[in-house]
Amino acid sequence: MNNTQTRIYAGGAFAFGQNGAIEAIQTGNYTTLILWSVHVNAEGNLIFNNTPFVTNGVYSEAQQMDLPTRLAQLKSQGIGIIFSVGAGGTSDFQNISSFVKDGVPGPGNPLYDNFNALKQAMVAAGGDIDAIDFDNEDYMDVTTMVNFGLMLGNIGYNSVTFCPFYNDDIWDTTFQNLISERGNNFVSAIHLQCYSGGRGNDPQQWGQVIASINPGTLLIPGLGAMQSSGWWQNGAPGSNVVTKPGVAMYGNGDWSGMLRQGTYSSPNEAMQSMLGGETFFFYCNQTIVLPTGTFPPNTAVFFGGAPWWGSAPQCEGYELSGQCTNTYNNGGACPDDIQARFKDWGSKQYPVNGGFIWLYDSIVDCTLSTCCNGVSQNNTGLLALAYRNAIYNGLNGESITGRQQKVAKALE
């Protein structure tokens, strides 16, 4: 199978993961990165998860993510860039509806101005956005989605994609209308959720829809990766959090994965401050002097990647290394399980053009876990690659293990 699409959704772990996240996506060798999730508030301003980043027609990150520059770096290497709008438990499309209910918005409309500013910020940095993904889980309305899509096309977005977790006449009608208005390439892909609320989905159902409306639209089903408890769960440290008494990051070790540091009254408060991308941290109860600096009491230092603990009675370490589990899929969530599902899907009547993994953040959180027979090798990029390979190998019946071994050797 040629031109197999391998895509991955990513949230805060990419936004705040700095260079380590860039390297992991590159190592993972995905064709497309999907930034999830853009929220639209009642004023039409855009928020990336919890971080405002386009307000009143101006791109301005409330907390530094450097998305335009970092995404331009990936774009220059041939990796597609999509921003996904919406999520379960939000009112994003309800808010969008208030700006498009009377027709297709133009300049001066807050929704238009903000999505225009988002695109222009990426272009100014040397990148671009290939599509806007509709993860509409709150307000299923044809007029809202069609007018929103037409607005995006008028701004200069080349295409939109859909991310349904069920088949519905509203999706079908929206699909048909956008193709009729903007041409066959405008709805470029269906990212079908086959996990969580969509775990029972059969891609063949959407294959039939695509065949009847526009055979050129790509069918790209997705599955969830293994899941961690995360750092904080139900008012306490998550079950995956492992405490390492009397240690800190080794002063002469590789500190390139350091993300940030801050002052917190307790390790628990530090855990509740997580932005995304953190796999371990150390907390100072007393001052410690290391080659990398002096860290006073109540300082927490956060890292992505694998720890190199050194003895430090003044401190204690914390890592996400407990066992990850399958939370969202039927049939398992390790790379071998994913490959088996895609092998089955690829053998059916209607073609499956690739797949996606939800979610890069889950891969980061399971980097230090020994689940799936230790496939991660304590390296986020290699775990991301294993999931990518599962899609590719399942659909193509090919093995690229040798290449994966080559990448692993280069990272030693």
Shared-domain flag, residues 254 and 331: no
Shared-domain flag, residues 125 and 196: yes
Greatest alpha-carbon pair distance for the chain in Å reads 68
pLDDT of res. 412: 39
Shared-domain flag, residues 281 and 391: no
Strand 218-224 vs strand 187-193: parallel, antiparallel, or unpaired?
parallel
In a domain, 240, yes or no: yes
H/E element, 53: strand 51-55
| Nearest CA-CA partner of 342 in 292, 393, 294 | 393
Shared-domain flag, residues 272 and 144: no
Shared-domain flag, residues 282 and 177: no
Q: pLDDT tens across 173-201, in order?
A: 999 999 999 999 999 999 999 999 999 99
Shared-domain flag, residues 64 and 104: yes
Return d(Cα 104, Cα 152) in angstroms, integer: 9
In a domain, 412, yes or no: no
- Give the residue ranges of the chain where pLDDT is below 50: 1, 400-412
In a domain, 171, yes or no: yes
Q: What is the pTM of this model?
A: 0.95
CATH number of the domain that 304 lies in?
Answer: 3.50.4
Shared-domain flag, residues 196 and 81: yes
Mark which of 285, 320, 355 sits at the end of a domain.
320
Shared-domain flag, residues 185 and 251: no
Total domains in the chain come to: 2
- CA 183, 184, 187, 188 dihedral sign is negative
pLDDT of res. 211: 97
**Domain of residue 276, residue span:** 233-320
* Structure-token pair, residue 165: 């977790």
Q: pLDDT tens across 195-223, in order?
A: 999 999 999 999 999 999 999 999 999 99
Shared-domain flag, residues 100 and 28: yes
Go through 160-188 and write b for each residue having 16 or more CB atoms within 10 A of its CB, e for each that does not. bbbbbbebeeebbebbbbbbeebeeebbb
pLDDT of res. 167: 75
| Nearest CA-CA partner of 241 in 267, 217, 220 | 267
The position carrying tokens 């220059």 is: 76
Phi, psi of 327 (to 5 degrees): -105, -30
* Contact indicator for 98, 105 with CB cutoff of 8 Å: no
Q: pLDDT tens across 145-172, in order?
A: 999 999 999 999 999 999 999 878 999 9
CATH number of the domain that 19 lies in?
Answer: 3.20.20.80
